[in-house]
Structure 1
């Protein structure tokens, strides 16, 4: 964590929020990851570093909760178990498969992979409410092995619009994530067409993240993202503290 903070300071960032993963029910995998955070240890370390660097950068306390229809109660209890500044709700697992793993697109080839992924997101946002923004709405496209696959908004328009309207009506927002640039997509997650439609529907809450799991990915391609967002018509991004949004000019 300290190396991430030092990198953020080196980049001139004034705020950073850690959002450690909490994914209940993550399926068995060859790396034996369980994606469950040791919350007391995480918070203790964060508070120590927050005190150490309080005159150089503001450090916020967050979590990224992986949502599945079978784990809503556990996720809700976790979200309410501590005084998080910020909570990202995300979908990493669909039908007991992570799109990161080859089996997912073997099961749902090409555009079917994102279609099924979005169906589960819609189910999640209709039922689950303990989050601030929904993360990387089209995460699955990062890992589609079909080199001819291209995201076309109209292929998913009805489903995406229902997701966005549900999020907006619930008073929540979405994350725009530069991980898409890192993975060579040429655009962030979600795709600019999704971002544009979110704004057209009245979406205002937009947080910016880099999916930076290591210091070299901290604030990855943020200048490129600012240019894209302003070209789409966004004027503000959002930072959460005590789960309350602050709007900051891009």
Structure 2
């Protein structure tokens, strides 16, 4: 079985990949199950209604045609019906349609900062009945973006790494409406551009705070994600790194999903099979999909 549990569509501000095309491509890539996990980043981007009513402004970015458009959070009132439509449309159209076609699940990727936790709590409670799954990510700290480099600017390597993990610990201690922690050591993706593979922050300096994050997640019945984007970004290890995956397992963690973090066709489902093999080599026996917020366990050699 191949399941991709980190998929972005044109409901994310950084993707223009239509849901129908994603489902068609998933079938061509022999995927059995996908979960849409489009972006919500409160503090950085407004909701559609907030922007339309003028309550909040939005950052502007260029679409593939070079035209400026606002960067907004998921349009929830269109998003969930769109997922429900493709769920029905592709239920019997999978590569092995006699086995039930392509299974499509509904999720979100929540880019949580501690100061905006109440908004995420309200969001997830509002739409919980229409969701199967939620990724918890930290993409910004104090509204400073990683991908632009502004979070790292003016900070030493030690300062920005410690600040990132401290924020992630604060979030997991205070926010519970999620399923798994996405790309837990995400900061490395952007650090790589600054210091190169040989200069990445050593694991032993964050081991204790990462253990605290994982212990909290395990206590709360939450999991982690193995994010296969590490291969396309040229990182020297997995995301999260091998040490974190080993630590999670040693601490008793067993809920793990695999996701491509795809935003376009050539990323969809990429390296999912290889990721399963890497987990097996680390001693994992199972991985998870989700149904109505509950983990469903599958053997890795399936």
Q: Same fold judged by TM-score > 0.5?
A: yes
Deviation at 1:23, TM superposition (A): 1.1
Deviation at 1:138, TM superposition (A): 0.7
For structure 2, which runs of at least 5 residues remain unmatched after alignment? 1-18, 46-57, 62-68, 95-101
1:111-190 → structure 2 map (5 Å cutoff): 111-144=158-191, 145-147=194-196, 148-190=198-240
The answer to which of 108-117 and 236-245 deviates more is 108-117
Deviation at 1:195, TM superposition (A): 0.5
| Conservation of the 8 A alpha-carbon contact between 1:114 and 1:138 | no
| Conservation of the 8 A alpha-carbon contact between 1:68 and 1:93 | yes
Corresponding residue for residue 6 of structure 2: none
Task: Output one character per residue of 1:189-232: Cα deviation in whole Å (capped at 9) or x when no partner.
Answer: 11111001000000000011010011110112122212211111
TM-score scaled by structure 1?
A: 0.95
Deviation at 1:75, TM superposition (A): 0.2
Backbone CA RMSD of aligned residues: 1.5
- SS class of match (2:35): strand
- SS class of match (2:113): coil
Corresponding residue for residue 86 of structure 2: 49
Deviation at 1:7, TM superposition (A): 1.2
Number of residue pairs matched by the alignment? 250
For structure 1, which runs of at least 5 residues remain unmatched after alignment? none
Greater relative contact order (Cα < 8 A, sep 6+): 2
- How many Å separate the matches in 1 of 2:250 and 2:133? 25
- From 250, 256, 281, the equivalent of 1:231 is 281
- From 29, 32, 41, the equivalent of 1:23 is 41
- SS class of match (1:7): helix
- How many Å separate the matches in 2 of 1:214 and 1:140? 22
| Conservation of the 8 A alpha-carbon contact between 1:134 and 1:173 | yes
